[in-house]
């Protein structure tokens, strides 16, 4: 029986329970979960800055039991190549990407699944919350 491989993409900065739940749900769709982690250089091209550098974010993802392999995401264009190179059956993304040209073209290569985000948590919310100073 062939192993069903699942692939997801993201920055996974300031790792939180929403990320963990997304990874858990993605892993449940197959036997082997690959995470393509945005590099610092790719984030810069997207106009994003991560709190943690790529290597630290990679280390944290590798410590999560649902994640089998972490690969670098260097560009928007690499996705179809990733699907072929890693023999991916399903690409999973957060529901906010549904219908996006960045992923829809992958339907020609594999199954494409959008999962709803975990309500009440996002990296943006965490960053805003961290700006609140502790009362002393």
> Would you name the residues annotated as active-site residues?
46, 48
Query: Rounded to whole angstroms, how far apart are CA atoms 9 and 2?
Result: 23
Extract the tokens encoding 7.
Answer: 């692939």
Neighbours of 77 (CB within 10 A): 8
Contacts of 44 (CB under 8 A, 6+ apart): none
Residue keyed to tokens 């975990």: 118
Q: Helix count (H) and strand count (E) of the chain?
A: 6, 5
Strand order in the sheet with 5-10: 69-73, 32-38, 5-10, 90-94, 111-115
């Amino acid at each position: 029986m062939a192993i069903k491989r699942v692939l997801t993409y993201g920055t996974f900065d300031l790792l939180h329970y929403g990320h963990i739940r997304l990874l858990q749900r993605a892993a449940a769709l197959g036997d082997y979960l690959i995470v393509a982690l945005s590099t610092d250089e790719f984030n810069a091209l997207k106009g994003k800055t991560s709190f943690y550098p790529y290597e630290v974010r990679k280390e944290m993802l590798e410590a999560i039991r649902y994640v089998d392999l972490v690969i670098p995401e260097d560009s928007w264009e690499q996705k179809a190549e990733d699907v072929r190179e890693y023999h991916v059956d399903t690409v999973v993304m957060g529901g906010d990407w549904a219908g996006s040209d960045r992923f829809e073209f992958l339907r020609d290569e594999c199954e494409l699944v959008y999962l709803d985000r975990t309500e009440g948590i996002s990296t943006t919310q965490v960053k805003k919350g961290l700006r609140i100073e502790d009362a002393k």
